[in-house]
Amino acid sequence: MNLKAHQIADIVNGNVEGDDNVSINRLSKIEDGQKGSLSFLGNSKYNKYLYTSNSSIVLINENYILESPISKTLIRVKDPNESFAKLLSVFGKNDFIKEGIDNNSKIDKSVVINSGVYFGPFSVCNKNSFIGKNVKIYSQVFIGENVKIDENTVIYPGVKIYSNTIIGKNCIIHSGTVIGSDGFGFNIDENGNQKKVTHNGNVFIGDNVEIGSNTTIDKATLGSTKISNGVKIDNLVQIAHNVTIGTNTVIAAQVGIAGSTSIGSNCMIGGQVGISGHLKIGDRVMIQAKSGVLRNFESDVSIMGYPAIKYRDYNKSYVHFKNLPDIMKKIDKFFKKNVNND
């Protein structure tokens, strides 16, 4: 993709300072910028690179004051970070223009395939599934029976989607993710043996959801495991059977959520958090990284620790915890003194 400075300015609603016909064909970090690339200055720690970078165009804040003249073209914008993210999206769309079904894919005749769909090599789609408009399914993807994938969704290589899964519009599912596998459920019989619980439910994923690589979402025992609209899930996340996650909640890497737990809308869950089963977490709850959540929490709280408690309470407790060695020395000294006196 080749874009000229004035075209970029139109996309990001910026003002060109310099040659508005200079063109770029790639994006780069400002410290590594080369001729023909565009970079951005979004953090003052990188100010020095504005003057040394070889990038042809740099996005900068509209109020930035130059320390010395430079020859490269600048585009002044309100928020360089936001503008660069918009350009990343523009360049990324080149990946989504593929259409057609590769000869090495195996698609059952009963599958409904709408216009603009792409199936990469060695992908499989089983009977009675539905593939919406402009869905892009890359190589080595498995899609089971009775799956519905709505329009403009992208499924990257190696994703496995089990039967009866429903996926909404404008979703992105990254490589290695497994959706709809059995939940981790067993009962002990009279002989003490673990007997598998059959899971007959499915997974429902709403619109505008993004799921990172190697994440697993188990189907429900009965009913649905539900991922609501706008949810963003990082890599290596485990979501168990019958979990419900509310709209626009964000989940960082290596989080584990046990079965039948309900998480509200607009929550933020840090990395390596563990959430026990059959809990109810309210809306707008912030869970700090590595916390262990073992009880219900109402809306609009920030929690931390293991077991997780309110963030302020944790900080107050930590003041005493970090001073515990000194406190113990004083206690030992007190007891020794009193024992000697006796």
Q: Give residue 333's pLDDT.
A: 83
Alpha helices in the chain (DSSP H): 5-12, 49-52, 80-92, 311-322, 324-341
Query: Is residue 342 over pLDDT 70?
Result: no
Q: Give residue 2's pLDDT.
A: 87
Of 336 and 340, the structure prediction assigns the larger pLDDT to 336
Window from 31-40, 266-275, 312-321 with minimum mean pLDDT: 312-321
Please state, in angstroms and as integers, the Cα–Cα distance from residue 154 to each residue in 108, 118, 214, 236, 310, following that order: 20, 9, 15, 19, 38
How much of the chain exceeds pLDDT 90, in percent? 85
Cβ count within 10 A of residue 51: 12
Q: Which CATH superfamily is domain 100-314 in?
A: Hexapeptide repeat proteins (2.160.10.10)
Going by pLDDT thresholds of 50, 70 and 90, the confidence category of residue 56 is very high
| pTM confidence score | 0.78
The string of pLDDT tens digits covering residues 268-317 is: 999 999 999 999 999 999 999 999 999 999 999 999 999 999 988 888 88
Going by pLDDT thresholds of 50, 70 and 90, the confidence category of residue 205 is very high
Query: Is residue 244 over pLDDT 90?
Result: yes
Q: Give residue 229's pLDDT.
A: 98
CATH number listed for the domain at residues 3-95:
3.40.1390.10
Is 320 tagged catalytic?
Answer: no
Q: Select which of 174, 241, 278, 320 is catalytic.
A: 241
Q: CB within 8 A of 242, min separation 6: which ones?
A: 183, 201, 220, 221, 222, 223, 224, 225, 259, 260
Residue 295 is given by DSSP the state S
What's the per-residue H, E or C state across 230-263?
CCEECCCCEECCCCEECCCCEECCCCEECCCCEE
Query: Is residue 323 over pLDDT 70?
Result: yes
What are the extents of the domains in the chain? 3-95, 100-314
Of 31, 38, 42, 37, nearest to 79 (Cα)?
A: 42
Query: Is residue 320 over pLDDT 80?
Result: no
Beta bridge partners of 224: 202
Going by pLDDT thresholds of 50, 70 and 90, the confidence category of residue 234 is very high
Query: Is residue 340 over pLDDT 80?
Result: no
Q: At 32, phi and psi to the nearest 5? A: -115, 10
When the pLDDT of each residue in the chain is averaged and rounded to a whole number, the result is 93
Query: Is residue 256 over pLDDT 70?
Result: yes
